[in-house]
Homo-oligomer: A and B are copies of this chain.
Amino acid sequence: MSSLFVRTLREDPVDAEVPSHRLLVRAGYIRRAAPGIYTWLPLGLRVFRKVEAIVREEMDAMGAQELQFPALLPREPYEATNRWTEYGPNIFRLQDRKGGDYLLGPTHEEMFTLVVKDLYSSYKDLPVWLYQIQTKYRDEARPRAGLMRGREFVMKDSYSFDVTDAGLDASYAAHRAAYVRTFDRLGFDYVVVRATSGAMGGSRSEEFLASSEVGEDTYVRCTTCDYAANVEAVQVPAPAPVAHDDVPAAHAEKTPDTPTIATLVDHLNEAYPREDRPWHAGDTLKNVLVVLKHADGTREPLAIGLPGDREVDQKRLEGMLEPTEVEPMDEAEFARHPALVKGYIGPGALGSEQASGIRYLLDPRVGEGTRWVTGADTPGSHVIDLVAGRDFTGDGTIEAAQVRDGDACPQCATEGRDGVLETARGIEMGHIFQLGRKYAEALDLKVLDENGKLVTVTMGSYGIGVSRAVPVIAEDNHDELGLVWPREVAPADVHLVATGKDSAVFEAAATLADALAAEGVEVIYDDRPKVSPGVKFKDAELIGVPTIVTVGRGLVDGNVEVKDRRSGVRTEVPVGEAVAHLVGVVRG
């Protein structure tokens, strides 16, 4: 500790929002170099390398082969797949001295596709699984929580190449199993959830989320079955058609001064009270207007119809429409559609796209036969007893409504159970995708099949946030005193503290440190002569090595103290048995 390049801080850094960030800075693991860009100090780098080694071991064990692409990449391959444009402001772009366009790679589908195209030409070469562990770049709008959402970070990304869909399924399954082994070793709680594939294209996709209060991702899990999904991936069970023979014809009614759902519901309960139950927001059909900004620069209006008791979930909406950007419809656009009466928009004005020029997508809950109150396309007027399918139809469905605790579980619904969802928060640590043939088609990756015919290869893409794992492990492994590393990723095995001023203590501690090192045990030895025992213990707890050994007062009785950082349990061990004891502790 007298020479280790570390300084612990007693105070929390002002810009740290989450415990892991505070502790990693305070304990001297990382330092901020720029927004979302961090430096690994020696202790942090040791943890990072151990995480990296675990990820690499599991990738090698599954038979994936490691290679490494540059981070500085030419524009052309990303142009071919349209991602140069689609990524928008989220990637770093630059020019070289000759004016050539480059980007800092956010992910490498294109490069992997091209290298397989370069080297391979036959079905006999496949499947092949390739990976790299590499520094990647994304110009995040809101870098956050230290290393958790950074702009320079390390990812393991791997890619599978198969001829057949069944092959892709097998490659996907192999990666999924390797990910389970990897995350089991890394030492934090996680959940595997269904996910959307977003800008990556493709079909099947799952996320490995670290369960965490401070996570940015919301996911849902069923309280009854094993269903779990990112909110973006939740598919609301389509209700069975509702009989509507006894529903009166739709009728427009004066509803003065009811531009909001709350005022409308109040008015309905006053002017048109129902016998069975009062009107509530869920009886109303809300029509939300947005504008899609397509990658080619064109803009398209879009209407979303959903129950009035739910908001549009921006992330779900964006997830459905990716890579197209979405923004609220502005006044100028509204003015272009005079049939739209703000606060009183109804299917009359929207109808189908053919009629209105606006695509109209409905929440799955607005199913055949369901009955709604909605705008009558006239100020101060609403339509009552409007029946979906009878009185209006949209141009399709969209999963954009917020998901709430207590919503029906889609899997239970399919299987005839009544399970409900609860929401929780997590941090995306891994993501596996069945990409399919999107990239292979864009970059013309074909191989000869058994019959000598050229076929397009099908791909999977699989990522792990390697640098992100460090704060995620810290988030799940700390207490009020500091970090509490799982042994497999700890920066050292033993934190050895010598206390007092007795030179015999320091000699015994140095001897013990050397003996442990000779056994391959990694030791941080606090040899600082003028630092008080209190400060040394505080530093040891903060740094969070799993085993803290104190050589101090007990030495006169021939003992050292061994403390388990996690449980706090202390054991007196005779100094002569200390090495054997500690080797046993360290090796488990």
Contact = CB atoms under 8 A, between A and B. Distances in A.
Given A5-B130, A119-B6, A39 B68 contact: yes
A188 interface: no
A96 to B, nearest CB: 5
A441 to B, nearest CB: 21
Contact of A37 (B4, B5, B63, B72): B72
B96 A67 contact: no
B119 A34 contact: no
Contacts of A33: 69-70, 73-74, 111
A94 interface: yes
Interface in A1-43: 3-7, 28, 31, 33-34, 37-42
Contacts of A66: 42, 45
A93 interface: yes
A96 B152 CA distance: 12
A39 B111 contact: yes
A67 B93 contact: no
A41 B102 CA distance: 21
A115 B39 contact: yes
Contacts of A73: 33-34, 37
B89 A97 contact: yes
B96 A4 contact: no
A397 interface: no
A269 to B, nearest CB: 48
B72 A92 contact: yes
Contacts of A38: 70
Nearest to A89: B97
Contacts of A102: 34, 92
A420 interface: no
Nearest to A38: B70
Contacts of A104: 72, 94
Given A42-B66, A111-B33, A115-B31, A151 B6 contact: no
A119 B40 contact: no
Interface in A106-132: 111, 115, 118-120, 128, 130
Contacts of A68: 39-40, 45, 48
Nearest to A134: B135
A45 B67 contact: yes
A67 B94 contact: no
A139 interface: yes
B69 A42 contact: no
A141 interface: yes
Contacts of A120: 7
A109 to B, nearest CB: 14
A271 B181 CA distance: 92
Contacts of A28: 119
Contacts of A40: 67-68
Nearest to A5: B65
A41 B70 contact: no
A120 B7 CA distance: 8
A310 to B, nearest CB: 32
A4 B65 contact: yes
A130 B4 CA distance: 10
A137 interface: yes
B70 A152 contact: yes
A118 B100 CA distance: 38
A95 to B, nearest CB: 8
B97 A139 contact: yes
A576 to B, nearest CB: 30
A128 B92 contact: no
A28 B67 CA distance: 12
Contacts of A97: 89, 139, 141
A567 B584 CA distance: 48
A104 to B, nearest CB: 7
A474 B74 CA distance: 27
Given A65-B4, A97-B141, A39 B89 contact: no
A71 interface: yes
Interface of A: 3-7, 28, 31, 33-34, 37-42, 44-45, 48, 63, 65-74, 89, 92-94, 96-97, 100, 102, 104, 111, 115, 118-120, 128, 130, 135, 137, 139, 141, 151-152
Given A34-B70, A39-B68, A71-B71, 7 more contacts: A5-B65, A28-B119, A33-B70, A39-B70, A39-B111, A72-B152, A94-B104
Q: Considering the complex of A and B, which 7 residue pairs feature the smallest CB-CB distances, nearest first?
A: A94-B94, A34-B74, A40-B68, A89-B97, A7-B119, A37-B70, A5-B65
18 contacts: A5-B65, A5-B128, A6-B119, A7-B119, A28-B119, A33-B70, A33-B73, A34-B70, A34-B73, A34-B102, A37-B72, A39-B70, A42-B66, A48-B68, A70-B152, A72-B92, A72-B152, A135-B135
